[in-house]
Amino acid sequence: MTTRSASAVWKGNLQQGTGTMKLGSGAFEGQYSFKSRFEEGTGTNPEELIGAAHAGCFSMALSHLLGEAGYTPDSIETSANVSLVAVDDGFEINRIDLKTKARIPNIDEDTFQKHATMAKEGCPVSKALAGPEITLHATLLE
């Protein structure tokens, strides 16, 4: 089993506070704020990171399924638009739109669409976003 990690630090109140998020591998560290999440401020936000993870996972899953079927993609380029909307009790992610463009020699449209649908349903991030168990270990520091 593989376990990956990421962390975040937030300082201050919601609207004026600031934070940083970083990946356990050290490959990314970025600032985030109320403005970068809910408006158009500088920095990243959790939804962008979810989108990047989903796009990457989907592309790899599609490549794997195609390979098992005897196809070798020249390229798979995927984007994920993650929609954060206001609801009565706060905010929720209500939609993720994956868009992928692939160059795959000797494949027909129906076969490609079948494998793309299987990748959408089967990639680990798609499965996680469908409702994983979430645990919490909370420590209050003095």
120 in the same domain as 73:
yes
Q: What is the dihedral of CA 121, 99, 91, 28, to 10 degrees?
A: 100
Is the confidence at residue 138, as pLDDT, over 90?
no
CATH of the domain at 95: 3.30.300.20
Give the chain's mean pLDDT: 92
**pTM for this entry:** 0.91
Q: Check pLDDT > 60 for residue 142.
A: no
- Is 40 in the same domain as 62? no
Give me the mean pLDDT over the 109-125 stretch.
94
Structural domain of 22: 1-44
- Whether residue 91 lies inside any domain: the answer is yes
Residues 83 and 29 in one domain: no
Q: Find the mean pLDDT for residues 16-20.
A: 96
Same domain, yes or no: 72 and 28: no
- Give dist(CA 10, CA 33) in Å, integer: 9
CA distances from 135 to 52, 72, 77, 93, 101 (A): 23, 39, 33, 19, 36
Give yes or no for residue 34 having a pLDDT over 70.
yes
Q: How confident is the model over 40-61, as pLDDT tens digits?
A: 999 999 999 999 999 999 999 9
The number of folded domains in the chain is 2
Segment 102-114, tens digit of pLDDT: 999 999 999 999 9
